[in-house]
Structure formats: structure tokens, C-alpha cells
């Protein structure tokens, strides 16, 4: 193996941005760039984000990745990450079903998640009830994640730089929080979900897989952002998707993926891959 190159974060950002929407892949940055750690990766991610905004994309929220501790060993990571989401990558499934075009995504995989719509900005130190008071709506969604690194082989820093692995998010019907706070607190800590492909059951997930529950994942993101003043804190109006409740599974055109939730008043989804 050749010696690692000196860090050139601008070059890394340009390389990552060039893969956007192409389905192309590159060698992991951490393999070939000296000192490419999480701090460097978040600086690269900020630069890629700025490039996307210049090209007309509008940030609508954040995704939290690797919140499911049951899959950390599979991917060789030991903590969650986060990334931006955009109006061009996020869409809704108002009837709970729809289709998504996989073209331009690199080795896409599917993740069933819980999504929050923030009514006000959460703050560090808030407990679960206080965080819930910041949320106007809850939904179930499918995130389609991707890896611009072949075979899903990477270090955590690579994933941060490469869009936080975010490819797309499709959100089911929104449910209002106000007036049912006690029920939401209990359900978000204890529900289960079944994931199926073409009517074949493939996995069962639980709320506690996601750092003890989606509200805990939100708290983690709030604390991480507070510790990094170079990154914008969460704001009212943002959407936050909190990480996969099951393992992430490869998807292919022609498949139809469905979910069924237990112990929470959220409808299952049906998403066809095109």
C-alpha cells in the first residue's frame, strides 16, 4: 500500500461532491489521507453541504446514523454520526405508500426509522419529556442510505464526509404530538416494528435499538451539535430522522418493502423500488 497523502480537505470535498447523483464510488478517504478523523470529516461535510446549497438544494433537516447499536460491529463503528437532508432528497408518502427511483444511488440500502418534525429548537440537557415538547409531529419513514465506498467498507469518518450515507427519505403520515404526550413518551420507548420485502419477513426492530429510543437519539444529536459551535444547532421547522430500527438491507429495483408497527399509533409503509 502506498503512503497516505497529506490532508487536503478541499480536494476531499470536491471528490465527494462529484459523486453526487452518479452512483459512482471511490476508495475510502481514511485509507489514503493522513489524519482523516471525525473532526476533519465534519469540516468536509460542511463544505459539501455548502456546495449543495449553492447548487440549489435547501436543507430541511438532519439524519442521525448508526444509532442502532446492534449493527455497530457489522460496520466497524462505535458511535452515531449525523448529516444534512435536503428538499431534493426528502419526500412524503401521505397515503403510506409510494415509489422511489434508485438511480444515482450507490449500493442503496433501506432503513425503517422514526422521524420528528420540530416545532421549536431543542436544547442541551433536556430530558425525554422536554424534548418531546419541542416536537410537533411524529412519523414513520424509510431512509434509503448509500455508500460511495465499495462494499460498504469504511471508517466512521468516511461516512460523515460522504453525505452521512444519506440518499433519500420518504415519510409516512404525520401524527400530532400535542394532547397525547404521555402516550407518545411510552410508545417511543417501547414499540416494535416488522420489516418485510415482497411479503417475506426479513427483520424485527425495537425502539430500544436506537440508543434506547428515538428521543434518546435526538438528545444525542442535540448534545453533539452543542459541543461543536462550527455546526448549526437544530432549529424549529427542521425534520430529524433518528436511525434505523432494524438492520439495513440492500435494495433493488422491482422490490416492494413494507413495515408493520406494534405498540405505537403509526401506520406501516409500503415502498416500491424503481
State the pLDDT confidence band at 1, using cuts at 50, 70 and 90: very low
CA 142, 225, 10, 148: dihedral to nearest 10 degrees?
Answer: -20
The grid cell for 28 is 475510502
> DSSP alpha helices (H): ranges in the chain?
9-18, 29-32, 38-54, 72-75, 128-132, 156-161, 181-190, 214-226
pLDDT at 222: 97
Distance CA 36, CA 248 (A): 26
Residues of the chain with pLDDT > 70, as a percent, come to 99
Residue with cell 424534548: 131
Structural contact between residues 51 and 161, judged by C-beta atoms closer than 8 angstroms:
no
CB 119 within 8 A of CB 134: yes
The whole-angstrom separation of Cα 238 and Cα 11 is 30
* Mean of pLDDT over the chain: 95
Cα–Cα distance measured from residue 42 to residue 161, given in angstroms and rounded to the nearest whole number: 6
pTM above 0.75, yes or no: yes
- Are 191 and 111 in contact by the 8 Å Cβ rule? The answer is no
Backbone angles phi and psi of 209, in degrees to 5: -65, -30
The predicted pLDDT at position 3 comes to 64
Task: Grade residue 73 by pLDDT with cuts at 50, 70 and 90.
Answer: confident
Residue 178 burial class via C-beta count within 10 angstroms: exposed 0-12, middle 13-18, buried 19 and up: exposed
CB 48 within 8 A of CB 164: no
Tell me the pLDDT tens digit for each residue of 87-139. Answer: 999 999 999 999 999 999 999 999 999 999 999 999 999 999 999 999 999 99
Q: What angle do CA 265, 266, 272 make, to 5 degrees?
A: 160
Q: What kind and span of H or E run contains 125?
A: none
The band of 2, judged by pLDDT with boundaries at 50, 70 and 90, is: low
In the numeric block, the cell 429495483 is attached to: 253
For 225-271, how does the pLDDT look when each residue is reduced to its tens digit (9 = 90+)? Answer: 999 988 999 999 999 999 999 999 999 999 999 999 999 999 999 99
Residue 123 φ/ψ, nearest 5 degrees = -125, 155
Q: pLDDT, tens digit, for every residue of 138-150?
A: 999 999 999 999 9
| 97-100 sheet: strands from edge to edge | 97-100, 270-273, 256-262, 192-197, 200-206
Per-residue burial over 206-238, b = 16 or more CB atoms within 10 Å of its CB, e = otherwise = bbbbbbbbbbbbbbbbbebbeeeeebeebeeeb
pLDDT score for 68: 81
Amino acid at each position: 500500500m502506498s503512503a497516505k497523502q497529506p490532508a487536503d480537505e478541499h480536494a476531499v470535498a470536491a471528490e465527494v461532491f462529484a459523486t453526487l447523483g452518479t452512483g459512482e464510488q471511490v476508495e475510502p478517504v481514511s485509507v489514503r489521507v493522513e489524519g482523516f478523523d471525525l473532526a476533519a470529516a465534519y469540516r468536509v461535510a460542511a463544505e459539501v453541504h455548502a456546495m449543495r446549497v449553492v447548487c440549489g438544494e435547501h436543507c430541511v433537516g438532519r439524519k442521525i446514523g448508526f444509532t442502532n447499536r446492534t449493527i455497530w460491529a457489522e460496520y466497524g463503528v462505535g458511535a452515531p454520526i449525523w448529516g444534512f437532508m435536503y428538499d431534493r432528497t426528502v419526500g412524503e408518502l401521505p397515503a403510506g405508500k409510494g415509489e422511489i427511483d434508485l438511480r444515482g444511488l450507490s449500493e442503496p440500502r433501506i432503513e425503517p426509522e422514526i422521524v420528528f418534525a420540530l416545532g421549536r429548537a431543542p436544547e442541551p440537557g433536556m430530558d425525554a419529556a422536554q424534548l418531546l415538547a419541542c416536537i410537533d409531529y411524529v412519523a414513520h419513514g424509510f431512509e434509503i442510505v448509500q455508500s460511495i465506498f465499495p462494499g460498504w467498507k469504511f471508517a466512521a469518518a468516511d461516512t460523515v464526509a460522504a453525505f452521512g450515507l444519506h440518499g433519500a427519505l420518504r415519510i409516512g403520515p404525520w401524527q400530532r404530538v400535542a394532547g397525547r404526550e404521555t402516550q407518545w413518551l411510552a410508545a417511543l420507548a417501547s414499540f416494535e416494528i416488522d420489516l418485510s420485502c415482497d411479503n417475506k419477513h426479513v427483520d424485527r426492530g425495537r425502539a430500544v435499538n436506537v440508543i434506547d429510543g428515538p428521543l434518546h437519539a435526538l438528545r444525542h444529536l442535540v448534545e453533539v451539535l452543542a459541543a461543536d459551535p462550527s455546526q448549526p444547532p437544530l432549529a424549529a421547522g427542521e425534520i430529524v430522522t433518528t436511525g434505523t430500527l432494524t438492520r439495513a438491507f440492500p435494495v433493488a429495483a422491482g422490490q416492494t418493502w413494507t413495515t408493520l408497527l406494534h405498540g405505537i399509533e403509526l401506520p406501516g409503509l409500503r415502498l416500491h423500488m424503481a
